[in-house]
Structure 1
């Protein structure tokens, strides 16, 4: 049985999520909805889906996702029982109607293979409601190193929602890898889960991930939040260095591009205040790329002043 875990907080697109579950051609799943003390309870909407699929709803008495999203994921997983398979689905994401059916078909065809991590094809819905596909070539069974290569080269997007994982591998690893704001937590977790029994890709069904502008992936609200994301970036790259062999030039390029993405609108002095402590925290491991980024921003500031 598959336990579909939904850490709920936003009502905006939740009905689309529920409808995709109600329309599944294979009903061998149970949904666990962990309400993170949301501002808008989904209880009235859930009444509409009573009897259409099996679900358990629980409203927590405090908000945890605002301070530690990974711990919110974990307490939602703790709602589940003894289901062999787990899936973490965002409250604004949804599945093709044949997703669960194709998952069981894959398991049936590969009974002799050890499987801990299965991935559906990912499609992204942008803020214009346009569906974008990950157009990349991959093997049905691939190792974590190959997935990492595509991550670092930005060939594709990775999310928390398109993976199904065994409870066994979840327990062995003590749950999800915890980085601030869960930024890069899913990346590191899937790489870790795939180290031994690899990643099994299903092309015949998709998960739709919504880049809505109201999720953490879309937000840059404050310098504090950006600092946490920068910290997660370095924690992730530290994980990569510990577990994989990657060329320094590739790692530095990846870090540099993410820093520019995160810090693009931040004032130069705030960048210095943010980056110097981060450099010290990681014992200057990432100092060369940090220095290059600060130099890059310095040059931009000089050119801006000349033009003025």
Structure 2
């Protein structure tokens, strides 16, 4: 019923990932490992875990993650069978030992009521060799509210701590932003399909922050910036109605700020902002917003 899909490339922390799967108290899952033409030999390590949990392994001969991480996710998901629910687990992330057990324990609560189930999370900081305090969430939360909490930096979210229904994935898919930055944020907004996200706070997914992954690598700043601009344009175009005026101003401010990191707003971007402001704000609020956000 639950497929855990791992798009593999880096060996450095992968044994810890596999060990966390072997330590699951409930083994009702199947792991699908898609090797993205990695130069690092994985076979000997996989032999060590034969029989400890159910997994299938496939090596792709062409590296795809270097040009499109989303397409690598997609071809790894295609390795899976008919499981109704999917988790994409990073090759350096770690599951707490009760993650799968608590997922099944809560199944009756979220089945048919939600397309997205997430876990509490902690961050592993490679540089300082420390672990963050726990990040928890409301038991039930609208996806747009969840993202706004992330925008305000009072919460966090990433790919590994979510499971999603195959039906919602097949309906929407992952949008292919550069470096897949924000591709998961957009997926949760779309996959939810007007149903709330259900959270299991009793189990934890450990997400690694290191110089080897996209989140921790500062060399990718320009690509991340481009992804942010594209994502916030989508958010304004498609999800603005779910926010109040204060939240809309924050989102527009974020959109403009991401553009101004590298250049001035162009004419079409100004027209885009003015158009959505005229639709959603009254004249007084619009004047206040422009004064606050765009004065030079």
> TM-score if structure 1 supplies the norm length?
0.81
Q: What's 1:204 paired with?
A: 202
1:3–1:251 Cα change, 3 Å? same
1:21/1:95 contact within 8 Å kept: yes
1:249–1:115 Cα change, 3 Å? closer
- Please tell me whether residue 157 in structure 1 is matched to residue 156 in structure 2: yes
Gaps of 5+ in 1: 264-270, 296-308
Q: What's 1:194 paired with?
A: 192
- Please tell me whether residue 119 in structure 1 is matched to residue 118 in structure 2: yes
1:105–1:123 Cα change, 3 Å? same
1:25/1:101 contact within 8 Å kept: yes
Match of 1:233, SS?
A: helix
How much does 1:281 deviate? 7.3
Q: What's 2:76 paired with?
A: 76
- Measured against aligned partners, the alpha-carbon deviations of 1:147-200 in whole angstroms (never above 9, x if no partner) come to 022021111121010000111111111x21221110111111112112322200
How much does 1:89 deviate? 0.3
Q: What's 1:236 paired with?
A: 231
Match of 1:218, SS?
A: coil
Taking the aligned partners of 1:110 and 1:68, their CA distance within structure 2 comes to 32
1:4/1:30 contact within 8 Å kept: yes
Q: What's 1:298 paired with?
A: none
How much does 1:206 deviate? 0.7
- Measured against aligned partners, the alpha-carbon deviations of 1:119-149 in whole angstroms (never above 9, x if no partner) come to 011111112221113545x431111121022
Describe how 1:19-168 pairs up with structure 2 within 5 A: 19-110=19-110, 113-127=112-126, 128-135=128-135, 138-168=137-167
From 216, 221, 224, the equivalent of 1:226 is: 221
How much does 1:110 deviate? 4.7
1:122–1:281 Cα change, 3 Å? farther
Match of 1:56, SS?
A: strand
- Measured against aligned partners, the alpha-carbon deviations of 1:4-60 in whole angstroms (never above 9, x if no partner) come to 000000101000000000011111100000001112121111110000001111110
> TM-score if structure 2 supplies the norm length?
0.84
1:279–1:126 Cα change, 3 Å? farther
1:153/1:254 contact within 8 Å kept: no
Give the RMSD, CA atoms, in angstroms: 2.5
Taking the aligned partners of 2:159 and 2:82, their CA distance within structure 1 comes to 21
Match of 2:206, SS?
A: strand
How much does 1:81 deviate? 0.7
From 176, 179, 187, the equivalent of 2:177 is: 179
Taking the aligned partners of 1:12 and 1:281, their CA distance within structure 2 comes to 45
Taking the aligned partners of 1:70 and 1:106, their CA distance within structure 2 comes to 29
Q: What's 2:286 paired with?
A: none
Match of 2:193, SS?
A: helix
Aligned length: 274
Match of 1:208, SS?
A: strand
Taking the aligned partners of 2:73 and 2:266, their CA distance within structure 1 comes to 30
How much does 1:252 deviate? 4.0
Taking the aligned partners of 2:39 and 2:107, their CA distance within structure 1 comes to 39
How much does 1:242 deviate? 2.0
